[in-house]
Structure 1
């Protein structure tokens, strides 16, 4: 089904605050999409889209099964052109909106554009339905006959994976027509509510990002004050967030029931082109590793902090010996580009325009969406990266992460609009690899054992947040959707589900302050992209295995890596990993990635023993 602007998937919520001290932070220049909201080019493309969709339906509806190979190729290419224009329109409207979600004019522009595109593209619903009615033998013969059509084979495979869950033409059209006032409307309510929340800590009023930033302060009293204020405000709004989650989970359950989806996770696995047993193997491997990863690390961190029991506001606390100076934007740019260039100069060259050509929006501004993302827009333009940069070392890693996405999206663009989009499980590959390159470069530069310890600890915490926390989030979502299937959930019900995964994943060293049970409320993934979160753990495990191959001196690794990124969504994860001798369907594969984290904790424990000897 046509989806002109899937909501950007926000990466881990970043820390924020004031921006003046970090240098000249870049802002987006969206003119590469359109000069202005009232630009004639925007109106022109909207008019073109309306006519193109109507003409497409008049030409092809009811006729796809009768087309020959050349005719089907023309049909697919026309659909691709429509997807490109629709994606361009909604990318512009969406990116403007996320710059300031509390601006009524931007919200109105976004909603009006979404409603128009939804109406205009309604005639396209038949496309995927009719493709799935083409007999297997006939489609195989056409693909064998026409090489240009065969290039789109992955698209046909993805569409036909949905064939068992396809509804009638009338129902599919109904779902399409009501989409702008269904889940997307609840997503907007969530975004606008989150962006509008204000918190008061030590007499200073600040937004969510700025308050979360205090959780990484050296001063423990500030971390505690921020945590309690977050809990207070989340608690005051928990009924609204409970309503959002109840509604979205029920809406999903109804659609899944009609489609006869066997589980709430099935649609995500299909869109990720990953087998359920692979995800289950990943989940089980991570949960089994909790004791040797998060439990062990946080017990070690408690010692460093001089604590017998850690409170939740200590989880992301800096180490006592950690340098608290901030990193200005120029240094952050140099750090990441140097790391990318050391791996391969081509990687730095691709990343450079993000800094020079207005492809990054870095500053913290009122109403700006929290977190960070890289949005590919359309293959005829370029990606845009959103950050909330505050000069923390972790913000530098977030920059490295999002630039990895950006480089991936630039390289995959040559596949064209339909084949460039990477499944979420593989979409995190380049981003996490970019983080690893940056981390390793910083580790090489470490002058003292203490500096190395701080860097290692920071990386372990990031990996725990990427792997352990995200699998715990996945378990929370699984429990939430299972419980919602039995009936309406109260805020207390959801709070209890949240807490059921916290102690298990974080370990016995933690105490959970009253109010922490509401911290599920601000996680955007649960709202925008149900069950997305396991993709982080998938990507981290995959990258750890990839990086091990790189460190072993695999011949031609860089070229193979670039070919993997260029493939976009044109290949399955088995094909992409085969040149590296890796197979994600092997349960032992995940142990390799987890052992890298465990090995870093081993090194930290060895350092601790040396200090106490």
Structure 2
């Protein structure tokens, strides 16, 4: 997502966990990305220098590459043969034989994952091209059909009784290697349905949630926003919300409101249908509340998430309310409007940061902490693994897609040259480095829960920010840097918890009252925005449609708290690093990233003396933001 939202698109995991939460397979990830067209010619292009576009040939040469068709044919034959050999027989298998079966299952899933990753990337590169949409849908349908033959495997594994499985694990070191994957699979055991229902839900995914996701993506990609007589993509219009000229920001805000307002009934329909779809599945699976499936998939306890949300909401007055009151004074405004939220400070430099300079800043910051991190990060710039160019039809925002361990991640961002774009680069590069390090765990165990997936990305941002701040001696520029970081942290923590609160209210009311009119959705949106932003803002009615552009609500319900989780976690983690209280911090940090999905958050944080189940943990993370605001206040503003 662009900076004004405070969120990027969620990084797609190596393989997507099924929506229902108890099956792992290779069909669509939350969001990924794309065949490359010529960059959009913008006025800033010369100042930014050449922007890279990715080359997806490390996956396949083109959508009609015979290797893609051959991989799908081979995966289909292997999946059918696998089912023929193993369906109904897992309970009688010895541990070593079961371990071999899991390894074979992983190989087939990775082959499907490569095909699906390529289709997602092609589509994200230009979702406005109908050919890309058809290709994405075709591959998605084929992968779903093939993986139906594999569905029995995880269902049957979950039907094994615990004592029987433990006996197999104890007798077989080969099977014991898969213990983390089996552990994560079996947390969904109480919510598993019959084989027939699981197969039905799996096969209907392509005409259900996935189809609504595609409709949302294609609609937003094709939209144009009128700003002062200029027709802009949604991404370009959103970028105008951080323009120095308040009139430009206001024009962009009103253009966005008009563009989404004209289509608000469609976005409300998409939201209502997906919320109802989730309710139906949650009811069948006996999830107690709308957020339960996401928390379980994130391997985080409900009470830990509740503690995070409560801590952030309680801190609104000392964080966002206090900061935005300061900002109103800096801008000389009695009240802020929503188009002022990401306005640059009066002393903030207008200079655009050329791409090469951004790359240097990020890699130097990484290298100062860990030469190993910088070496891995450098690969993304030495090779065509990044798409930063601006062009119509391209997915807005930014993400890192890990693809498969036998290949490498790809990064997508829309680089406009703003300081926040440098932070976005640092963020997505953190994801990419994390994904490369975790790849050694293999396809099934390299993916991290969403709450931990943000660790390396936010840590990379913090490294880059601290390097820039420590190097700055001019008080005015230092204040601008510090304020920019505070805004990013508020966007990542406060704004994402407000998003989470909005989703919670919407889904709960949808379940009580039935379909919600777009006017009611707007009321819920405005309620949480007023609470989180505070009295410094006077929100105009046209802001009521802004919920409609957030892709997280469509692609990955209740994802957004992971950003706040990650930011607070990294604040505490980085504090431990700066204090020098943890011996061999770099080695422990790299080890944490290499773990992928093999360890839970308690195990990962223990070497650093941190515990996310302790309420003081969240206060420590929020205190970092409050401390930055203290410094800004002490500057005599």
TM-score range, shorter chain: over 0.9
Residue in 2 aligned with 1:533? 560
Cα deviation digits, residues 261-291 of structure 1 (max 9, x gap) = 1111111011100000000000000000000
Q: Which moved more, 1:595-604 or 1:159-168?
A: 159-168
CA contact (8 A) 1:412 1:420 kept: yes
Counterpart selection for 1:20 from 28, 39, 45: 45
Residue in 2 aligned with 1:76? 102
Aligned-pair CA distance for 1:5: 4.2
Cα deviation digits, residues 37-88 of structure 1 (max 9, x gap) = 1112111101111101101110111111111101110111011001110000
CA contact (8 A) 1:256 1:264 kept: yes
CA contact (8 A) 1:305 1:319 kept: yes
Q: Which moved more, 1:136-145 or 1:580-589?
A: 136-145
Change (3 A) 1:576 1:195: same
Q: For the residues of structure 2 that align with 1:6 and 1:508, how far apart are their CA atoms?
A: 41
Counterpart selection for 1:198 from 199, 224, 238: 224
* Structure 2 unaligned spans of 5+: 1-22, 34-40
Aligned-pair CA distance for 1:148: 2.3
CA contact (8 A) 1:294 1:505 kept: yes
Cα deviation digits, residues 183-211 of structure 1 (max 9, x gap) = 01000000000111101111111111111
Q: For the residues of structure 2 that align with 1:2 and 1:317, how far apart are their CA atoms?
A: 43
Aligned-pair CA distance for 1:6: 3.5
CA contact (8 A) 1:28 1:360 kept: yes
CA contact (8 A) 2:31 2:120 kept: no
Q: For the residues of structure 1 that align with 2:42 and 2:193, how far apart are their CA atoms?
A: 48
How many residues align? The count is 606
Counterpart selection for 1:592 from 605, 616, 620: 620
Aligned-pair CA distance for 1:514: 2.1
Residue in 2 aligned with 1:439? 465
CA contact (8 A) 1:5 1:91 kept: no
Q: For the residues of structure 2 that align with 1:9 and 1:345, how far apart are their CA atoms?
A: 31
Q: For the residues of structure 1 that align with 2:173 and 2:387, how far apart are their CA atoms?
A: 41
CA contact (8 A) 1:24 1:329 kept: yes
Residue in 2 aligned with 1:491? 518
Q: Which moved more, 1:253-262 or 1:140-149?
A: 140-149
Q: For the residues of structure 1 that align with 2:124 and 2:291, how far apart are their CA atoms?
A: 28
Residue in 2 aligned with 1:501? 528
Change (3 A) 1:5 1:386: farther
SS in 2 for 1:511: coil
Q: For the residues of structure 2 that align with 1:98 and 1:10, how far apart are their CA atoms?
A: 6
In the TM superposition, what are the counterparts of 1:140-219 in structure 2 within 5 Å?
A: 140-219=166-245
In the TM superposition, what are the counterparts of 1:147-546 in structure 2 within 5 Å?
A: 147-486=173-512, 487-546=514-573
Aligned-pair CA distance for 1:158: 1.3
Counterpart selection for 2:596 from 548, 560, 568: 568
Q: For the residues of structure 1 that align with 2:274 and 2:611, how far apart are their CA atoms?
A: 35
CA contact (8 A) 2:264 2:545 kept: yes
Counterpart selection for 1:583 from 597, 600, 611: 611
SS in 2 for 1:550: helix
CA contact (8 A) 2:32 2:401 kept: no
TM-score (norm 2): 0.94
Counterpart selection for 2:632 from 600, 604, 611: 604
CA contact (8 A) 1:19 1:363 kept: no
Residue in 2 aligned with 1:548? 575
Residue in 1 aligned with 2:6? none
* Structure 1 unaligned spans of 5+: none
Change (3 A) 1:581 1:338: same
CA contact (8 A) 1:17 1:210 kept: no
